[in-house]
Amino acid sequence: MATKKNKIDIEFNQNEDAMKLAVSQLNRTLDKIHLGGGKKKIEKQKAKGKMTARERIGNLIDKDSDFLEVGAFAGYEMYKEYGGCPAGGVVVGIGYVAGRQCVIVANDATVKAGAWFPITGKKNLRAQEIAIENRLPIIYLVDSAGVFLPMQDEIFPDKEHFGRIFRNNAVLSSMGVPQIAAIMGSCVAGGAYLPIMSDEALIVDGTGSIFLAGPYLVKAAIGETVDKETLGGAKTQCDISGVTDYNMPDDKTCLETIRDLVDKMGTFENAGFDRKEAKPPIKDPKEIYGIFPETSVKPYDSIEILERLVDDSKLTEYKKGYGQSIICAYARIDGWAVGIVANNRNIVKTAKGEMQFGGVIYSDSADKATRFILNCNQKKIPLVFLHDVTGFMVGKRSEHGGIIKDGAKMVNAVSNSTVPKFTIVMGNSYGAGNYAMCGKAYDPRLIVGWPTAKIAVMGGSQAAKVLLQIQVASLKRKGETIDPATEKKMFDEIKDRYDRQTKAYYAASRLWIDAIIDPLETRKVISMGIEAANNAPVAKFNPGVIQT
């Protein structure tokens, strides 16, 4: 007969195996995405004397430094009718250049010649948003054929489309945030404004070119015959028009010059977030693999996860015995002081003798979290939200107790928080729980998910049951009936479709989250995020409103 300890060990091993498989799948998928348009396209680019987008970033950032990639899964399994768009055709992230954090945006010319799909525009805007919020210098490595014409109606005219990029160029300049652009390939039509609206522009001789209309369009429009280099090559734009500032002989020299330019930049006033010497967790972070359950319905001790993420495994819990379905605690992560708001997945018994289900937000939990968020704002402590939430508690007792009112207070506190917020979606992130725990709509500086993350209005089974009930009721009103086998088939079809839409990969492909990460990278992501946020003083304004 299995003992309780043996059962725990078996569950730990099962959980560990499942997470290792998920992380392995994540890494294999990333390896494929990193190939961009494929090996043949990479070879073709190198034959022109050009580095790939990722090689350019590798040569730009400091040796052996971290690069926090944003949006690697953008466009994943989208645009299949056009052959796909790996990473949205652009590589984006936060890296260290001459010792300074910068946002880097590098077009991947192996993907449809670096053309802009709708997701490309969204990803570029996200990069600029990160630069604006954190006052980080932004470096554009331009190599793009411009808007992907078959989808121009989804990328050109709207507020969050292509033109917003240039508007943000102007906003960044007005804020005094440095922008450097390197024209390392094609730069044509409206896309030509991006590097020239930056503060300084470099161009690589022989491969870089910039013009409003290429040779073919010039011929069609005014009948003039002109070659690419004469029209907008490095010599033309540096020596004749003065459009660009530096004529570079090759990619390597161009990237070295950018490093020299960044090296001379001054710094801004920082936010003053508290940091002390970093200490690793006493409890082994690798044990997260075994603690976090293989299935999203199993309870677990969330404190055990937190103790493997924070320095010294030390937490100072706020209102520990009250509102226990949410854990609020002060801690340090890589030396940075943080306020943690995490869903407690244990089933707990309250002081009143009532049972509370793990992962559900109750009125007392919302009240506690609201007060804690306000305290962190008063003390200028960055907030870290860790999701594994199924939503707010429903039912007669909760409604009579004012769950909507208490939930609204928590959402209000999250919305108006002025300290930077960072969100880690570990497991479930359903319904209004996603909002209250600082989902994408609530301006987290960074939002990432573990491979186990699930984001949706509700879980697949619950959604399928609701939708099936609606369909069955509709058929009954028409005098029709369905047999149990047909009903099960309908349920399975709805559930399968919904389950696909809840997965981390689906969310990341649409940039609902910035990245899918190995749980062991959680500390690094939070630390680099706070370091970035420390570049911008805490402002007394509503997050998301750009100050000019």
The pLDDT tens digits for 260-273 are 999 999 988 899 99
Paired with 103 in beta bridges are 94, 138
CA distance 109 to 142: 9
Helix 163-175 crosses helix 118-134 at what angle (to 10 degrees)?
A: 10
Helix 522-533 crosses helix 118-134 at what angle (to 10 degrees)?
A: 60
Q: Please, is 338 exposed, middle or buried when counting C-beta atoms within 10 Å of its C-beta (0-12, 13-18, 19+)?
A: buried
Q: Which of 110, 27, 37 is nearest to 69 (CA)?
A: 27
CA distance 387 to 526: 14
The helix (run of H) or strand (run of E) holding residue 136 is none
CA distance 548 to 221: 38
Q: Are 126 and 71 in contact (CB under 8 A)?
A: yes
CA distance 464 to 484: 15
DSSP 303-354: HHHHTTTSGGG--EESSTTSSTTEEEEEEEETTEEEEEEEE--S-EE-TTS-
CA distance 386 to 160: 28
Q: Which residue type, as a one-letter code, is found at position 126?
A: R
Q: Please count the CA atoms within 13 angstroms of the CA of 140 that sit on its side-chain side.
A: 32
Q: Please count the CA atoms within 13 angstroms of the CA of 201 that sit on its side-chain side.
A: 22
CA distance 171 to 149: 27
Neighbour count for residue 316 (Cβ, 10 Å): 10
pLDDT digit string (tens) for the chain, length 548 residues: 455 666 678 999 999 999 999 999 999 999 999 999 999 999 999 999 999 999 999 999 999 999 999 999 999 999 999 999 999 999 999 999 999 999 999 999 999 999 999 999 999 999 999 999 999 999 999 999 888 888 988 888 888 888 899 999 999 999 999 999 999 998 987 778 899 999 999 999 999 999 988 888 888 889 999 988 999 999 999 999 999 999 999 999 999 999 999 999 998 889 999 999 999 999 999 999 999 999 888 899 999 999 999 999 999 999 999 999 999 999 999 999 999 999 998 877 777 767 677 789 999 999 999 999 999 999 999 999 999 999 888 778 888 777 889 999 999 999 999 999 999 999 999 999 999 999 999 999 999 999 999 999 887 777 778 888 888 888 788 888 788 888 888 888 888 888 889 999 999 999 999 999 999 999 999 999 999 999 999 976 444 444 33
Residues 6+ apart with CB under 8 A from 186: 109, 113, 114, 143, 144, 145, 146, 209
Distance in angstroms between the alpha carbons of the first and the last residue of the chain: 69
CA distance 417 to 22: 34
What is the maximum alpha-carbon separation in the chain? Answer: 89
Q: For position 542, what pLDDT does the model report?
A: 47
Taking the CA atoms of residue 511, residue 514, residue 518 and residue 523 in that order, the dihedral angle to the nearest 10 degrees is -160
Residues 6+ apart with CB under 8 A from 455: 425, 429, 430, 434, 439, 449, 502, 504, 507, 512, 513
DSSP 240: I
DSSP 87: G
CA distance 528 to 505: 23
CA distance 234 to 237: 5
CA distance 437 to 432: 8
Tally the residues of the chain.
Answer: 548
Q: Which of 475, 478, 499, 498 is nearest to 487 (CA)?
A: 475
Q: Are 121 and 155 in contact (CB under 8 A)?
A: yes
Residues 6+ apart with CB under 8 A from 21: none
Q: For position 546, what pLDDT does the model report?
A: 40
Q: For position 548, what pLDDT does the model report?
A: 34
